[in-house]
Amino acid sequence: MKPARRNGGTPQDIARNLTLLRRSRTPYPETPDEARLETFANRYRDRDFWVTFDCPEFTSRCPVTNQPDFGRLRIRYIPDCECVESKSLKLYLFAFRNHPTFHEEVVNRVMDDLIAACAPREIVVEGEFNPRGGISISVACHYRRADPTKGAEPANRDAETATGRAGPGGSKGRRTEGGRA
């Protein structure tokens, strides 16, 4: 079966801009700042579908003790015009292995970098980190574009945004851009 031409051409047309897949030798970035997240055109942007990455061997370093931290990252997103290429994501996540960072920072930075790379309609990044000092840490963040013409905004920022009722820092019926009262 010949692939249909949708929103960006054939898979070969789409792959022309992906540089990491065609290399015979893979360069491993030392830091997340050196890594490059590559994207390709979403041929099915007329519908919502979830893309899920499960990264069970995530490693970074504790910024205080410099000891390795191990965990699992789960990334789910609904693409808009672009999808993240998985090898570039693998290399990006690999770049954290010697990077000193807190767990909360990892999850939020990964989400921010993916939003900058592919501007998804919605994204969820979850990190489950192995115990350190007898305590394991789970971090989750969720981002959703409320209106495609406005760009991305955080989802469920506070009780008012989530329920439509007044919550901490807000009163019902009075909102500014981003859902804050």
Rg of the Cα atoms in the chain: 19
Residue 3 has pLDDT above 60, yes or no: no
Distance CA 88, CA 21 (A): 8
Residues near 141 by Cβ (< 8 Å), separated by ≥ 6?
A: 107, 108, 111, 124, 125
Q: What is the pLDDT of residue 27?
A: 80
Strand partners, 84: 39
Topology at the third CATH level for domain 49-163: GTP Cyclohydrolase I, domain 2 (3.30.1130)
Using 50, 70 and 90 to split pLDDT, how confident is the model at 159? very low
**pTM of the full predicted structure?**
0.72
The more confident residue out of 111 and 5 is 111
Q: What is the pLDDT of residue 18?
A: 64
Distance CA 94, CA 75 (A): 15
Q: What average pLDDT does this structure show over 58-65?
A: 96
Q: Which residues are catalytic?
A: 62, 69
Residue 127 has pLDDT above 60, yes or no: yes
